[in-house]
């Protein structure tokens, strides 16, 4: 299935070579957000937050065709 994925700030580098230019990535059916994060090789020890179609979702969320995913982490700073 095709989903759209966008990564921000410290996570941008994990898109290289895996996410196509139109922010699309092809995944197996029923891949979870945790699976997507593994596929992108985002280290497990980085705190991340997912928005799927503009709603916060946990890493167990199963992705569906056409979902739009945004993945954020934190630079730190007040």
Partner 1 sequence: MESLYGYFGKQLRVSLNNKEIVKENINASILRKYLGGAGYAVKVLYDEIPKGIDPLSSGNKLMFATSPLTANHIPGGGSIMLCFKSPLTNAWGESRCGGNFGPDLKKAGYDFLIIEGKSKEPVYLIINDDSIEFRSAMRLIGKSVSEKLRIIREELSEPKISVMCIGPAGEKLVKIATVMFEHRAAGRCGVGAVMGSKNLLGIAVKGSHKTPIAQPEKLTEVAKICLKILRDNDFAVNLKKHGTTGDMAANDAAGDWPTKNWHSNSWGKAEQLYDQFFNKYLVKNHGCYTGCPIACGRISEVKEGRFKTPLHEGSEYESLSAFTAFVFNENIEVAIYATHLCNEFGIDTISAGAIIAFAMECYENGILKKRDVGSIDLSWGNPEALPELVRKISLREGIGDMLAEGVKIASERLGRGSEKYAIHGKGLEAPAHDPRSGKVLGITYGTANRGMCHIHPLEGMAYDSGKVDWGLMKYGVPDPNTVDRWDEKGKGKIVKILQDALILPDILNTCKFFMYCGIYIDHLAEFLSAVTGWNIDGQELLKVGERVINLQRLFNVREGFRRDDDLLPKRMKQKPAFGFYENEDRCVIKDYGGMLNEYYQARGWDAKTGIPTKEKLLELELHEK
CA gap 78, 19 in Å, rounded:
31
Min dist CB 11 to partner 1, Å, is 9
Q: Considering only CA atoms, which of 31, 37, 1 is closest in space to residue 18?
A: 37
> Does residue 17 touch partner 1 according to CB under 8 A?
no
Q: Provide, rounded to whole angstroms, the least separation between the CB of residue 4 and partner 1.
A: 14
Phi, psi of 54 (to 5 degrees): 65, 20
Sign of CA dihedral 54, 60, 64, 68: positive
In the set 21, 22, 29, 44, which binds partner 1 (CB under 8 A)? 44
Binding of partner 1 at residue 21 (CB under 8 A)?
Answer: no
Please give the residue ranges that form the binding site for partner 1 (CB under 8 A).
8-10, 13, 44-47, 49, 51, 54-56, 70, 72-78
């Amino acid at each position: 299935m095709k989903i759209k994925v966008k990564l921000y700030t410290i996570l941008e580098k994990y898109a290289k070579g895996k996410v196509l230019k139109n922010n699309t990535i092809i995944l197996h059916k029923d891949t979870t957000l945790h699976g997507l994060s593994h596929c992108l090789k985002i280290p497990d020890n980085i705190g991340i937050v997912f928005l799927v179609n503009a709603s916060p979702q946990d890493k167990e969320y199963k992705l569906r065709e056409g979902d739009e995913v945004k993945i954020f982490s934190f630079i730190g700073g007040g």
